[in-house]
Chain A
Amino acid sequence: MRLLYWLSILTIAASAFAGELQSKEFKPFADGVRKYVELQKYLEGSVSAQKSTNASEQIADRQQQLTGLLANARRGAHQGEIFTDEVAEQFHKIIRKAFKEPGGRAIRKTIEERDPVKHIVLKVNEVYPDNQPRTTMSPTLLNRLPVLPQELAYRIIGRALVLQDTKTNLIVDFIPNAIP
């Protein structure tokens, strides 16, 4: 009984430590994400609020305005700004591990989109084209990668893991060759 007690204490301590380690390693990523969301919210203040509307023009106009403001405010943003080398390495580890596990084949099947997608050269601060299909994001990966606020989403395009703005479709950052 006593042994079980100490084992459970050790397990809790170990998992708390692992959590701390993980959060420490992802801190630069969390900071980058937070800053981006703050900027997005600030700029949203200068466009009309997005409400449900019958006018599809209004949806398109708002998206375009916000895209322009964000792209302008982030002029000069480059790949690796949020996914820094250290952060990218952590993402690589998580993704590689998930693909090596028994569910790896299912993950690959999910992310391989068979609908024809035009070859897209990924560039930070550019919009993922509306007329291209979205690849399905693997639920397993979503369960393992750091949780994002609703303003941002992960997306896999080719072999890259992309951080995408959900309101504008802007490519915020990406890790090339993230998918093994």
Chain B
Amino acid sequence: MQIPRRHFISYMALAAMRLPLYGQEPILPPKPASVRFAVIGDMGTGELPQYEIAEKMNTSREAFHFDFVITVGDNIYGGQTPDDYRKKFELPYKGLLDAGVPFYGSLGNHDSPTERFYKPFNMNGQQYYTYKKGNVQFFVLDSNYMKPEQLSWLGKELHNSAADWKICYFHHPLYSSGSFHGASTELRLSLEPLFVKYGVQVVFAGHEHLYERTKPQNGITYFTEGAAGELRKGDLKKTDVTAAGYDQDRSFMLIEILGDELIFQTISRTGKTVDSGAIERSAKISRAVIPLRFPTTVGRCEQPALV
């Protein structure tokens, strides 16, 4: 994608300003009044890597004080007993839950629809819902069951939204270079026209057990973050839509939105930053994704393996 020269200069300046922050973890500088959150998906295994990612989220929060967590589904794998809820959600995220960090869940294909009644997922009994944080409105969908009623609801809510940023999240990715499931093309046909029509800027999904960021598709950046518990190592087969990706270890994302800028950082289980950049919100200019590239090793920060 061609970035206009004046934008390129300002992005380079922005990157240069942030450069000293790299090598620390996390790199996102928290700004007052910004919307800060973490993204996890396909995490509810109850196994050690999930706990390790949760711990990494805890330590990241000391430096970058994110206020809430969004989940892109598969919150609880393989059973819905009280014991499953404990081992696969309450214990791994105890630190965050004790600190009062709310989670806003969406349902994956491994989740029981009854999870929507579980208060810590903040779904209020709804399979799809919306909420606002500052200048950002989130639209949470149930991509397992995209009935016409849900599409009408989404269209209406997007139409009525006056938020600067409109962000959608759900389980199945509309674009994916993962070789196991791949893109949900039929869902894309239903959802993407609404996203484009109503100015959705960013979409988060999971399902594929890896991390991927797409080049803007019709002006929308699609993230897949389905590796906060599960992992399908080597599953990413880069395609034309891939801007960056990582499939060598578990990961989670940190996001900060302030004004017209969204900054993202994806961190692996070992604390490595595997992707980062900024997305500019603009109604007229194609949204530019500016990867912030850094030397192979700066402290604990290394160049992403697949970028």
Contacts and interface: CB of A to CB of B under 8 A. Distances in A.
Interface stretch (B6-14, B57-65, B80-88): B80-88
Contacts of A134: 109-111, 144
B291 interface: no
Contacts of B193: none
Interface string A94-135: 000000000100110110011100000000000000110111
B116 to A, nearest CB: 8
Of the listed residues B114, B172, B181, B190, the one surrounded by the most CB atoms of chain A closer than 10 A to its CB is B114
B176 to A, nearest CB: 12
B148 A56 contact: no
Interface residues of A, number: 36
A147 B148 contact: yes
A138 B272 CA distance: 38
B109 A113 contact: yes
A65 interface: no
Interface in A38-84: 50-57, 59-60, 63
Interface in B130-175: 143-149, 151, 172
A142 B145 contact: yes
B125 interface: yes
Given A56-B118, A114-B181, A137 B80 contact: no
Contacts of B149: 147
B109 A106 contact: no
Given A57-B82, A137-B145, A169-B112, A106 B189 contact: yes
Contacts of B112: 130, 169
B185 A52 contact: no
B240 interface: no
Interface string A17-51: 00000000000000000000000000000000011
A153 interface: yes
Of the listed residues A51, A103, A131, A147, the one surrounded by the most CB atoms of chain B closer than 10 A to its CB is A131
B180 A143 contact: no
A102 to B, nearest CB: 11
A166 interface: yes
A55 B147 CA distance: 30
**Contact residues of A: prevailing secondary structure:** loop
Contacts of B117: 50-53, 59
A140 interface: yes
Contacts of B186: 103, 106-107, 109-110, 138-140
Nearest to A110: B186
A131 B79 contact: yes
A166 B113 contact: yes
A55 B119 CA distance: 8
B109 A133 contact: yes
B109 A59 contact: no
Interface in A151-175: 153, 166-167, 169
A22 to B, nearest CB: 16
A59 B84 CA distance: 13
A135 B85 CA distance: 22
Contact of B82 (A60, A114, A133): A60
B296 interface: no
Contacts of A11: none
Nearest to A128: B112
B126 to A, nearest CB: 10
Interface of B: 78-82, 84-86, 109-114, 117-120, 123-125, 143-149, 151, 172, 180-182, 184-187, 189-190
19 contacts: A51-B117, A52-B124, A52-B125, A53-B117, A53-B118, A53-B119, A56-B85, A60-B80, A60-B81, A63-B114, A106-B189, A130-B79, A134-B144, A139-B146, A139-B151, A139-B187, A140-B186, A147-B147, A169-B112
Given A51-B125, A106-B185, 15 more contacts: A50-B125, A51-B117, A53-B118, A56-B85, A106-B189, A110-B186, A131-B78, A136-B109, A136-B172, A139-B146, A139-B187, A139-B190, A142-B147, A147-B149, A169-B112
